[in-house]
Each structure stands twice: as C-alpha cells, then as structure tokens.
Amino acid sequence: MPSLHGQPEALPTDSRAVKRCDQLGAHPFSDTQDGLFRAYLSDAYKATCTQVAQWMHEAGMTSRMDAAGNLIGRYEGQTPGAPALLIGSHLDSVRNAGRYDGMLGVMLGIEVVAHFAAQGLRLPFALEVIGFGDEEGSRFPTSMLTSRAVAGTLDALPLDAVDANGTTLRDVLHSNGLDPARYLEAAYKPQQVLAYLEAHIEQGPVLEAANMGVGVVTAIAAQYRFKVSMQGVAGHAGTMPMSLRKDALAAAAQAIAAIERIGASGPEDLVATVGQLCVGPGASNVVPGQATFSLDIRAGTAQVRDKAATEICAALHTIAQQRGITLALERQNDLPPTPCDPDLTERLATSVARVTGHTARRLVSGAGHDAMVMAALTPVCMVFIRCKEGISHNPAEAVRHDDAQQALLVMLDFIRTLAASPAQEPTEFSA
C-alpha cells in the first residue's frame, strides 16, 4: 500500500474538475436554455445529481441523496463506518451563473477520492464528498438550507416559502420524493465527522493581484439578508398629480441610494447590495403601488454589519414616513462571521507553501459558503482558487486549469498530513 507520507505525484496539466464544471454549465444541467441557472431540486438539479453520482461511483465512492436533497458520496477508510472528513460545496447556482461557483469544490472533492482510490490507499478516516442543494437561496427566499440541515442547526423548515412560480417548498420536496417530516434527519452527529474542507473559487480579485493560484481562508464575513416591502398607492400615471402620489418605486429608489451611501461610508469590508427589485402593478401608465427589494449586508465583524443595518433601517423608515409609504422589513438570513479552524487553516497554509513554494496568501471571504454553517458541526477550513479578474455570479467567471490542479495538490497534501498526524484527539477517530 502506498505511504501516507511524501509528496503527491505530479498531476496532468488539464483539470478534469474544470472540464466537468464546463460540461455541467449548460442544458440539461441548467434550467435555462441560455446560460446557467441550477435551482435547488429543479429538473436541472436532478440531472446534475445523476451525472455527479455517476462520477462519484467511477471515483470509487458509494452515493446517496440525503433527506434534504444533498448528494453525498462516501469512500470508506481503513475501518468501515469510521468518522469522515467532509469535502463539500454546492451544486445549486444563482441565475445567469458562472460554471465554477460551488461546483468546482464538489468536482475537486471527487478528484481527491479518485486519486486515493487509484492508489488503493485507504485513510484512517472516511472521505465524504457533499454537493449541497441550496447554498445560494436562488429558488426559495432562504439560503444554506441544506447545509443547515446537515449541520443540525435547522430548527424548522419554511415549508410555505414559494419559488418564482408560486410552488411551495413543501410541494417541491414531495415531487422529489423527499418527506418534509424527515428533512432534519439529514443532520450528522459530531462524532460522525472529523472536519469539513471546502475548495471554492475566490470570487474576488485578491489572489490574482498577489499572483497566487491558491490561497487560504481565515474567516467568512457576517451576512444579513432582508426582504424590504414598500406599499404605496397605485394610480393613474396621467391624472395623479406629483404632489399627491404615494409612489412605492420612487421611495424604493431613494432607499436604494441611501443603502449604497451607507454601505460605502463604512470600513472597506462593509458591503450593502440590493440585487432584486419587483415593482407592481408594473405598467408604464400606472404609478407603482408596490415595490419589494432584497437587501444583503455583509462585513468582517458582526458589529460593523449590525451598525450598518441599524443605520439603513432608520433611513428606510424616514423615507417611508416622509412619503406616506408603508414599510415592512423581514430578516431572512442572519449568518454570524465564521472563523475557520486555526489548526486546520495552519495545516492548509503549510500544504499551500509545500505545493506552490510560496507563503500562503491568507484572506477573509466576503462571499458566503456552506463552511459557515458547517462550522457549527465540526472544524472547517477553506482553500480558495484564483478566478479571472475576481468576476463571479456572472457567466464570465473563469478559472485556470493549473490553478485547479494546484488546489487539488493542496487538498491531497493536506489530507495526507491529516492522516499522518490527526488534528484532534485520537479518541475522536473511533466511531
């Protein structure tokens, strides 16, 4: 049997993980004919799970869909049933997405297992590759639902939440053969799990500017998501004098400008975004009576995020009051800042240095990741992969094959080191 020690051998120049992401970037793995949109439990999601499960089997894993619709592959260790190192990211995407956000981490997890299986190497722990179903929240107004189910932090399911077609989460689960009453059974017990490793494209420009192909994440920024509803009075665009209008869209426009101003007035890590806006009734000759928009606020610390959220809420209330508009603010997501595990992060940084010959670039992630949620279950760490011009959530998203191969080498080195020198007390290794 090959040794756990020593450097992994050189890999091919082409990354099969990148090629597979490209293959999954279009119909039938996308719900849209043009570009990529893969929604949680959609037809494209099911087609993707079928294809990814086949690749998991070819790599030497068994696979299953869990009670929350996550796809999970397992490669047993030296002792069947041993706790697992989880390697995960998400299968779902935003609308008009890039091909690598989430998916590259899953494909690299499969490559890790394929590599060890090809060597006939069994580790002192199992490897599980998880493709999470809902990280983006792009189908239902709730994100990271499925990693929260796995981490055991989901208290209740928003079964009445509806997608853009008005279909409830309850109906979507039923039509996929998933029982809402059993959804929380997706939860792992801490003793089943060793740690969580996620590889992800950086989605920002830092690694490219540093001329590094890979980097190590130290923490993930805090997030809030709100749904903001402004209710005015719809009226005739020709007869309603400007002074008497209660125009919900004009109020929303003023609110959005205030959000941008407050977001820009804080430290550099503070960001505030309105990414969705729905206007009703939505006709050119009708004064808008209804405007609903999303609000996403993030910062490296909860204090900075919360201070901005308080200022924004106060500004929105003032605007609504001045314009005679009814305002409703619904908080849909509250993710605290998540530090990555210091010991695992140090080990990853050592692997990056060994593979690249350079000190690892460490960075905070402004983007959210399933790792944030998994941190409640087990220690987490993340490796970032450079992406072109930092562009993400955009079809122009691009990664280099050699960077993806470098990330794979880092993951292999990290896992070999972990196997040779466990991160936790040896007793944690027993089932």
> What residues line the site for Mn ion (CB under 5 A)?
101-102
Residues 132-171 that bind ligand GLV (CB under 6 A): 136
Partner that binds at residue 66, options ligand GLV, Mn ion, none, CB closer than 5 to 8 Å by kind = none
State the CB neighbour count (10 A cutoff) for residue 158: 15
Q: How far is the CB of 388 from ligand GLV (least distance, A)?
A: 17
Q: How far is the CB of 60 from Mn ion (least distance, A)?
A: 26
Q: Which two tokens stand for residue 128?
A: 């599980």
Transcribe 161-178 into DSSP letters: -B-TTS-BHHHHHHHTT-
Residue with smaller CB distance to Mn ion, 122 or 386? 386
Q: Which two tokens stand for residue 150?
A: 């796995």
Partner that binds at residue 368, options ligand GLV, Mn ion, none, CB closer than 5 to 8 Å by kind = ligand GLV
Q: How far is the CB of 106 from Mn ion (least distance, A)?
A: 11
Residue with smaller CB distance to Mn ion, 69 or 102? 102
Element (H, E) at 88: strand 84-90
Q: Which residues contact 303 (CB under 8 A, 6 or more apart)?
A: none
Q: How far is the CB of 37 from ligand GLV (least distance, A)?
A: 14
Partner that binds at residue 76, options Mn ion, ligand GLV, none, CB closer than 5 to 8 Å by kind = none
Q: How far is the CB of 26 from Mn ion (least distance, A)?
A: 18
Residue with smaller CB distance to ligand GLV, 356 or 394? 394
Q: How far is the CB of 189 from ligand GLV (least distance, A)?
A: 27
**397 near ligand GLV, judged by CB under 6 A:** no
Residue with smaller CB distance to ligand GLV, 288 or 368? 368
**368 near ligand GLV, judged by CB under 6 A:** yes
Alpha-carbon dihedral 176, 180, 186, 190, rounded to 10 degrees: 170
For tokens 């959530």, the residue is 393
- Where b means 16+ CB within 10 Å and e means fewer, 53-66 reads bebbeebbbebebb
Query: Is residue 7 packed enough to be buried (19+ CB in 10 Å), middle (13-18) or exposed (0-12)?
Result: exposed
**367 near ligand GLV, judged by CB under 6 A:** yes
Q: Which two tokens stand for residue 366?
A: 């402004």
Considering CB under 6 A, how many residues would be counted as binding ligand GLV? 3
Q: CA 364 from chain center: how many Å? A: 15
What does the binding site for ligand GLV look like in residue numbers (CB under 6 A)?
Answer: 136, 367-368
